[in-house]
Amino acid sequence: MAQIICTNLSIGYENNIIVNNLNFEINKGDYLAIVGENGAGKSTLIKTLLGLLKSISGSIEFGESLKRTDVGYLPQQTIVQKDFPASIYEVVLSGFLSKMGLRPFYTKKEKEIALSNINRMGLSGMEKRSYRELSGGQQQRVLLARALCATDKIIILDEPVAGLDPKVTEEMYELISSLNKEGTTIIMISHDLTSALEYSNKILHIGKDSYYGTKEEYIKSELGQKFINVGGKHNG
């Protein structure tokens, strides 16, 4: 069943359209890779899905009684965020903030879930470690644990392996894939076309030309062939 349905969606800034007339849907359990040239509008689309930007026209509908707060988000990190002075536990627990309303304290259940997600990311016993002292790969695992505290229904990731070395990159992809196999819907912007094609089941290509469909159909399509043949070198 569709969790997100986008119909005739046009996105951009201040009525300046970047991507026009997108039509796609995301079903429960999908692993959707969003690819395309630099500046094609991939991050703009994510911000629109999250409600951080208003769509210019068209519609975004949430199915299965989902709300935008049921969508977790792992953004690209800034230098300031990488130097955030808090413990792993504090960062992960903050994933519940959007659900707290006026409640001033975290519940016992939320604290248990935070610890469970820390363990799930392979960070058991590191709860009190300072976030700023972690490696890039460890920081991404912390942010993924934080996103899972917000929800385990849909996770959006914006180039989650950017700046990571090959070994850590592979570990991160495997971790994301395992979450998908456990039932979490994944939406991921990727500049790594090879890995996008390896792990995803659906592709959304946006740019001058667009495509939405299965990975297999994308590989056979004219757009997919053109993009694959240049090695996805313009993808980012």
Percent of the chain with pLDDT over 70: 94
Q: Report the SS3 class of residue 236.
A: coil
Last residue of a domain, one of 102, 118, 151: 151
Last residue of a domain, one of 94, 124, 151: 151
- The pLDDT, as a whole number, for residue 229 is 77
Q: What is the mean pLDDT of the chain?
A: 88
**Cα separation, 73 vs 79, whole angstroms:** 18
Whether residues 177 and 106 share a domain: the answer is no
Instruction: Write the pLDDT tens digit of every residue in 131-178.
Output: 989 998 999 999 999 999 988 899 999 988 888 889 999 999 999 999
Q: In the structure encoding, which two tokens stand for residue 193, read together? A: 């076309």
- The pLDDT, as a whole number, for residue 125 is 92
pTM of the predicted model, to two decimals? 0.87
Domain that holds residue 108: 79-151
- The pLDDT, as a whole number, for residue 78 is 60
Q: SS in 3 state form for 101-143?
A: CCCCCCCHHHHHHHHHHHHHCCCCCCCCCEHHHCCHHHHHHHH
Q: 73 in a domain, yes or no? A: no
Instruction: Write the pLDDT tens digit of every residue in 8-19.
Output: 999 998 878 999
Number of structural domains found in the chain: 2
Q: What is the mean predicted confidence (pLDDT) over 71-99?
A: 82
The CATH number that applies at residue 197 is 3.40.50.300
Pairing of strands 2-13, 16-27: antiparallel
- Neighbour-count burial of 80, counting CB atoms closer than 10 A to its CB (0-12 exposed, 13-18 middle, 19+ buried): exposed
- The pLDDT, as a whole number, for residue 231 is 57
Q: What is the mean predicted confidence (pLDDT) over 20-46?
A: 92
Q: What is the mean predicted confidence (pLDDT) over 76-83?
A: 65
Residue in 107, 190, 181 with CA at minimum distance from that of residue 149: 107
Last residue of a domain, one of 151, 177, 198: 151
Q: 142 in a domain, yes or no? A: yes
Q: Which residues of 133-158 are buried (b: 16+ CB within 10 A; e: fewer)?
A: ebebbbbbbbbbbbbbbbbbbbbbbb
Return left, alpha or beta for 15; rule: phi > 0 is left, psi -120 to 50 is alpha, else beta.
left
**Cα separation, 126 vs 78, whole angstroms:** 23
pLDDT at 63 over 90: no
Whether residues 158 and 227 share a domain: the answer is yes
Cα separations in angstroms, 35 against 51, 89, 162, 187, 230: 20, 33, 14, 11, 14
Instruction: Write the pLDDT tens digit of every residue in 169-202.
Output: 999 999 999 999 999 999 999 888 888 899 999 9
Q: 136 in a domain, yes or no? A: yes
